[in-house]
Structure 1
C-alpha cells in the first residue's frame, strides 16, 4: 500500500504552503534559519544513441544537511544571485524578487524539516549505477509507473525528457509533448509550447518540477483539481515542495533531490509519493 501523507503536512496551494512555512507551521522559524551554501550547477549532455542533447542549469541552496533546488533556463540566473543567498535567512529568500530563489529556499527548508523517507510519506526507489542514460531510463520507469492512464488515454508531458517519452511508448501510452523550448522529440514529433492549450485533450498530466520555477505550475494544479485529472510530477526542482501538495491537485510525485542522477555514476535513489506501490519500491 502507498504511504499516506498527514493532512497537517500538506497545503491547498503553493502560496498557502509558503504562508504556512512563514508562520512556522512546519518547523523552526524560517527567520532564524540561514542558508550556509549556495551554488549553481551547469550541465550539458548528449546520450549515446540519441540524436540531440540538452543543457541544465540549477540553483541550489544548502540548509544544514538538506539541499533545495530550482532549475532555470541556461543563462537566465543573474550574476550575484548565488552570492545574494549565502547567509540569508529563509524567510527573506521566500520573498526574494527572483522566483527560482524563492522556490529553492522553500525546497531547502522543507527538505530540512521533512527529509525524504517513509516518515515523510515517501517510498524510496533505487537507481542502479551506470551511465547517465542507464540511470535516466531507470528514473523514467519510476516516474511513469506513477501514472494511471486509461486504455487509449493520452498524457500531456510538460517538460520533454526523451527517456520519459520512451517509457510511455514502451507502454503503448499516447502523449502530447510540451516544452517552452519547442522543437521536436527524438522520434520527430513536434513539441508544443503552450501546455494550457493542450490540457482539455488529455486524460493525465506528467509535468516537470521546473514548472514551479517558471510560474506555470499553479495553472496545471488548478486544472487537475477542477477536472479530476491525474497530475504526476517528476521533481528535481521542488522535490520537497511538491509532495506537500498531494491531494490539492497533485496526484503523485517522483522526488529527486540533489545530487541528481546525471551528476553521479554510482547507485542512487528517488522517492515516490502517492500513486500505486510497486515491488521495486525499496523497503
Structure 2
C-alpha cells in the first residue's frame, strides 16, 4: 500500500517485517527548548522538540511551547513502542515511530551522509540550507516554502529562485516579505514544494502530498521531525528528504551530519 499519512506508515510497520520488535520500550524521553538569533540577523526564533530514545536511536517531533507536560513525557518511559504508536498525542506517535525506524533502519545505511563543518550558528545554518536546496531540481520554478527558515530563503534568493514563504505563525521574513499562513491556498501558485518535517506532526502533510501526487510537482522535505518516517513516502509523492536526527545542527558548534535521500536512490 502506498502511504498517505502517518497512520498508513504505522500500519505498514505493524504488519511488515519490521513489526516483530515493537515490544521494545522507550528508555529516555526529553524536551529540547532552543532559542537563537544568528549574528547579523534581525530576528530570533525558538524550537521545542520532543525526543524519545529506543535502544541507540533518538526520534523527534517538534511541538508548540506548552503542548506537552512533563507527565506525558515521563509516562512514555518503559512503554513499548507498540503502545506509543496508539498514543493520543500525535507528537508522541511521531517521535516513537521515528526512533523505532532509526533503530532498525539507521540513516547511515540507507542515505547519503553530508557532514556540516564546525562553525557559528549562522555558518552551520547556511551550510545545512545549501545541502537542502541542492535537493530541488536545477530549475524548480517558484517554490512554496512551508516552515520558514531564513537561511533556506537566503539560498533560494542567491540562486535566483522565486518562492512563497509560508508558516502557521505568520510574520515577516528577514527581507520583510509577508509570510503566508495557509500553505494549501498557495499550492496552485507554485511549481515545487519545500517543507519542514513539522508538517507531519501538525496535520498539514496529507494535503501537500495529495497535491504533489496529482500534479507531479517536486516535493522536498527537510526533517528534524520524523527524519526516519518521511523517507517512507519517497517514490510516492516525495522526491527527496534531508533527514537530520538528534542532536541537531543548532545544538553544537562542532561537526554534525545530515542524510540525504532521493526518490529512486534509497539503498
TM-score (norm 2): 0.95
Cα distance in 2 for residues equivalent to 1:37 and 1:78: 15
* Contact 1:149–1:204 (Cα < 8 Å) also in 2: no
Give deviations 1:198-246, integer Å, cap 9, x for gaps.
0011100000001111111111111111110110000000000111110
Is the counterpart of residue 236 in structure 1 residue 224 in structure 2? yes
Instruction: Name the counterpart of 2:106.
Output: 115
**What secondary structure sits across from 2:20 in the alignment?**
coil
Match of 1:34 among 16, 22, 25: 25
1: distance between equivalents of 2:58 and 2:82? 16
Return the alpha-carbon distance in structure 1 between the equivalents of residues 152 and 62 of structure 2: 18
CA shift digits 1:134-166 (9 cap, x unpaired): 110000011000001536x10000000000000
Q: Which of 196, 209, 214 is equivalent to 1:221?
A: 209
1:4 is matched with none
How far residue 12 of structure 1 moved from its aligned partner, in angstroms, is: 2.5
1:142 corresponding residue in structure 2: 131
Partner of 2:114: 125
**Counterpart for residue 49 of structure 1:** 40
Q: Which runs of 5+ in 1 are unaligned?
A: 1-9, 278-283
Is residue 2:234 matched to residue 1:261? no
Structure 1 length-normalised TM: 0.90
Partner of 1:172: 160
Distance 1:87 1:47 in 2: 38
Q: Is the 8 A contact 2:135 2:220 kept in 1?
A: yes
Q: Is the 8 A contact 2:235 2:264 kept in 1?
A: no
CA contact (8 A) 1:33 1:90 kept: yes
Correspondence 1:18 to 2:10? yes
- 1:68 matched to 2:56: no
Name the CA distance, whole Å, in 2 between partners of 1:133 and 1:228: 34
Aligned residues: 264
State the shift of 1:80 in Å: 1.3
Moved more, 220-229 or 249-258: 220-229
Q: Over residues 231-267 of structure 1, what are the superposed CA-to-partner deviations in whole Å (9 max), with x where a residue is unaligned?
A: 0000000000111110111110000000000111111
Deviations 1:150-205 (A, max 9, x none): 36x10000000000000100100000000000000000000000000000111000
Q: Provide the C-alpha distance between the structure 2 equivalents of 1:23 and 1:89, rounded to a whole number of angstroms.
A: 16
Query: Secondary structure in 1 aligned to 2:171?
Result: coil
- Give the CA RMSD over aligned residues: 1.6
List runs of 5+ in structure 2 lacking aligned partners. none
Is contact 1:55–1:74 with CA below 8 Å preserved after alignment? Answer: no
Q: CA deviation at 1:25?
A: 2.8
Q: 1:186 aligns with which of 153, 156, 174?
A: 174
Maintained 8 Å contact 2:52/2:96:
yes
Decide which of 252, 258, 264 is 1:270's aligned counterpart: 258
2:95: which partner in 1? Answer: 104
